Structure 1
């Protein structure tokens, strides 16, 4: 039995097409996301990476296609869609909203509590523990707008972590952060994977794919390839993905 037949998938995307106005951004995309993997979504600017995540999360309405969240037979009492966390691009967030760091992280608990029930001491304790995990425990009472870009990214990562989700989608979590913050985030993502969580990350740095991830999806309007990094992250697939950009990888045209 080969690797693919042994895999358990958490999301299946079939025939997905998304367009802005009349311009297709994703075209006829088929993709299976395996459980317990740390997956990079890689492609040139405008390839549809963020659009793919937003369509899966129902933040964008596709022209056509089907997105299926696969329920674990042993866990039929809960809705898997309620166990999905999302970290958006920092540029898509209103940082002037008057909230403290702790308030922002506690927002991640509402999916578990419901919007009527207020967070209790246990929720606050979880939020503070998570802030400590991302190195932001000393900033809990600080206004979110007063933080640096890297600090804000850590806070939004903490908000996702307190959801105690099974599937995490992160849209360029390393964008605009320093090297120290990037390394800290990578360790947290790998820890999630070690817990059996599924983590899908829109990523732009080709040089770190093999170091950070064990699964990769290469996309440019369509899915070029998706699978284990050591099987699909090679020059030929990269050439197909970046063929119109003239981009270089390790000194070689792709």
Structure 2
């Protein structure tokens, strides 16, 4: 039997509603440490809502979320939890350089009063190198392409040196080169025993990119190792489809 501390995230009886209409219902999840987990489901299934509720960005009607050693107060875990939002939700006109954006990932450790020092700048450059963006360090973030901006936000999350990462559709709108770079980063994080939760929409790449998956459509249909729960029967339940879209997936 797995002990509580073996889980990176535990979600219990989570219900979220907008204007009294439930958009997530009785969600129960246990995500072990060191997993790359995809969250998949149709449009409107509540994938992004689930991520935001787990991060405390949305207040649930009922339920509890616990991280790492059973801590249910995410405010005390900001150094240990990283978040990469959807690119469309970010104000890219904000006047900041690429390096400035990545340094924001250090503020959880520094606090808002201390200014980043030389070690923090070196860490930011190192993280930009990991995503192939070090030569853009002095460029304004608004001047980058969508794929480049996504890489910078990944570098910011890496600079945080968190233990659990949440990423909301990091592959959306990026080119093939950026997608390969992101996949390599995810696998590197797994090797470091980090836990990564990714809202994902491409069913065909789930078995290649992830080792854990949650299928969701307002409720959890299944959650577990990809080889055990990512199969046609569960996908039909999730997408309420005849299954024709599964050709070439399984």
TM-score by length of 2: 0.94
Per the alignment, do residues 66 and 139 of structure 1 end up closer, same or farther by CA in structure 2, a change over 3 Å counting?
same
* CA-CA distance at 1:96 after TM superposition: 0.6
Conserved? CA contact 1:127–1:162, under 8 Å:
yes
Could you tell which deviates more after superposition, 62-71 or 206-215? 62-71
Question: Which SS does the other structure have where 1:82 is aligned?
Answer: coil
1:223 paired with 2:245, answer no
CA shift, 1:251, in A, is 5.9
2:13 is the alignment partner of 1:12:
no
Judge conservation of contact 1:10–1:35 (CA < 8 Å) in 2: yes
8 Å contact kept, 1:43–1:242 = yes
Match of 1:76 in 2: none
2:12 is equivalent to residue 23 of structure 1 = no
Deviation at 1:82, TM superposition (A): 3.0
Cα distance between partner residues in 2 of 1:19 and 1:85: 25
Pair 1:133 & 2:130 matched:
yes
User: Do the aligned partners of 1:220 and 1:241 also contact (CA within 8 Å) in 2?
Assistant: yes
Answering whether residue 23 of structure 2 is matched by residue 32 of structure 1, we say no
Q: CA deviation at 1:6?
A: 11
CA RMSD of aligned residues (A): 2.1
User: How much has 1:81 moved relative to structure 2?
Assistant: 4.5
**Kindly tell me: are residues 124 and 85 of structure 1, through their superposed partners in 2, closer, same or farther at Cα, counting changes over 3 Å?**
same
Give 1:68 deviation, angstroms: 1.2
Aligned residue among 83, 92, 96 for 2:93: 96
| Structure-1 separation of matches of 2:70 and 2:123 | 26
Runs of 5+ in structure 1 lacking a partner? 74-78
Q: How many residues align?
A: 247
- Cα deviation, residue 209, structure 1: 0.1
User: For residue 61 of structure 1, what is the aligned residue in structure 2?
Assistant: 59
- Say whether the 8 Å CA contact 1:26–1:52 is kept in structure 2: yes
Asked whether the 8 Å contact 1:69–1:81 carries over to 2, the reply is no
Give the secondary-structure state (helix, strand or coil) at the position aligned to 1:30: strand
Partner of 2:180: 183
Distance 1:247 1:117 in 2: 56
Map of 1:50 onto structure 2: 48
User: Unmatched 5+ residue regions in structure 2?
Assistant: none
Question: Counterpart of 1:164 in 2: which secondary structure?
Answer: coil
Return the offset for 1:89.
0.1
> Does the 8 A contact of 1:16 with 1:64 survive in 2?
yes
Separation in 1, partners of 2:202, 2:163? 25
Cα distance, 1:118–1:5 mapped onto 2, change above 3 Å: closer
- How many angstroms apart in 1 are the aligned matches of 2:161 and 2:3? 28
How far residue 225 of structure 1 moved from its aligned partner, in angstroms, is 0.3
